[in-house]
Amino acid sequence: MQEFDLIVIGSGSGLDVADAAAQSGLSVAVIEKGRMGGTCLNRGCIPSKLLIHSADVAEAIKSAGQFGINVDDITGDFQKIVSRTNGIVDSDSDGIRQAFSEIDNPKLFPHECRFVGERIISAGGQTIKAEKILIASGTRPAIPKINGLEGSGFITSDEALRLKKQPAMLTIIGGGYIAAELAHFFGALETKISIIQRRDVLVPDEDEVARKFTDLFSKKYSVHLGYHTESISKSKGMFIVAAKNSTGKRIEVESDQLLIATGRTSNSDTLDLAKSGVKTDGAGFIAVDEHLETSAKCVFALGDAVGRYLFKHAANHEAQYAFHNLTHEKKSRWTTPPCRTQYSVLHRWPEPATPSRN
């Protein structure tokens, strides 16, 4: 059994903690079963914003006539846009993995893992343990239970970011920011968009912005608000989504592709947390205290895995607190992310000993 001072599960913002701990003289293991860089780099904010930029360029060109510039016969090369995006993303992710192959600390374990005891983990047939553990295992798309959905060939945001063929018609179930971003991307490239949202607005967590955003989106796309999806069926290669609203009105929406964007769920269920003493909340997110420590002593968690704010900047903020609390007896209390200047002095990172991999 190999022993370390710290084991970090996940290679998103957890890498920041792993690097800082290693530079501070601790022996560190990083466990990552997938591509290096976490959700943001591989399946989230980086590829989505690259695709959105292409969508913005397309819409700017379409509106050029307002400025006296005549542009005719605009076409988009969907495969080229997607290939460019994933070429950038994959190059960065591969670069991180290559950097890890050249160092011994942190040591990378590129395997799926699970707890087999208190601060003891099985990864790729090897058993490792540590004095302290940080869980930064992230989330995955949540799949709702809808009659006919399983086995229908639907996609989530993971597949949408790497789709080989542009849909002519796309139905999106869900109305949060992931649904909105992907609707904008595909819609700007002339895919016919239909959105089925159970709430009365899109992006409902955005307060007063939500209503205005919904009004603008409804002018561009077919937006069905207040509808609960009842079933999915296929006919001649087409998806047929049946939904009903609170008044009993039913609709059927047809498309050649179906995107499920109904939120995220924690990956904690893959870790066999019960054997570690780590508790989760009712939604499966890891429960932590004000120091980001779990119910198991010396086991901490951060980022999407804890379900507080599922954004990269929040995870980076938490990483600084986690590093401080993992390496100091006097722990600092985690607070809602302020501007950087308010916490950078307290949570100072070690100067990098090697070129950054992020």
Cα 102 to Cα 117: distance, rounded to the nearest angstrom: 30
The answer to the question of residue 148 being in a domain is no
Identify the domain boundary among 213, 231, 262. Answer: 262
What is residue 351's predicted lDDT score, i.e. its pLDDT?
47
* Residues 258 and 271 both lie in one domain: no
User: Within 10 Å of residue 191's Cβ, how many Cβ atoms?
Assistant: 20
* Residues 279 and 132 both lie in one domain: yes
* Residues 231 and 276 both lie in one domain: no
* Residues 292 and 250 both lie in one domain: no
Classify residue 131 as exposed, middle or buried by CB count within 10 Å of its CB (0-12, 13-18, 19+).
middle
Percentage of the chain modeled with pLDDT above 70: 93
* Residues 15 and 111 both lie in one domain: yes
Q: Say whether the peptide bond before residue 106 is cis (omega within 30 degrees of 0).
A: yes
What is residue 348's predicted lDDT score, i.e. its pLDDT?
46
Identify the domain boundary among 262, 280, 309. Answer: 262
* Residues 286 and 189 both lie in one domain: no
* Residues 125 and 269 both lie in one domain: yes
By residue count, the chain amounts to: 358
**Domain total for the chain?**
2
* Residues 170 and 120 both lie in one domain: no
Where residue 298 sits, what CATH number does that domain have?
Answer: 3.50.50.60
What is residue 337's predicted lDDT score, i.e. its pLDDT?
54
Residue 255: domain span? 157-262
Q: Which residue numbers in the chain have pLDDT < 70? A: 335-358
* Residues 228 and 173 both lie in one domain: yes
What is residue 230's predicted lDDT score, i.e. its pLDDT?
97
Q: Which two tokens stand for residue 62?
A: 């379409």
* Residues 9 and 132 both lie in one domain: yes
First to last CA, the chain: 30
What is residue 207's predicted lDDT score, i.e. its pLDDT?
82
The answer to the question of residue 286 being in a domain is yes
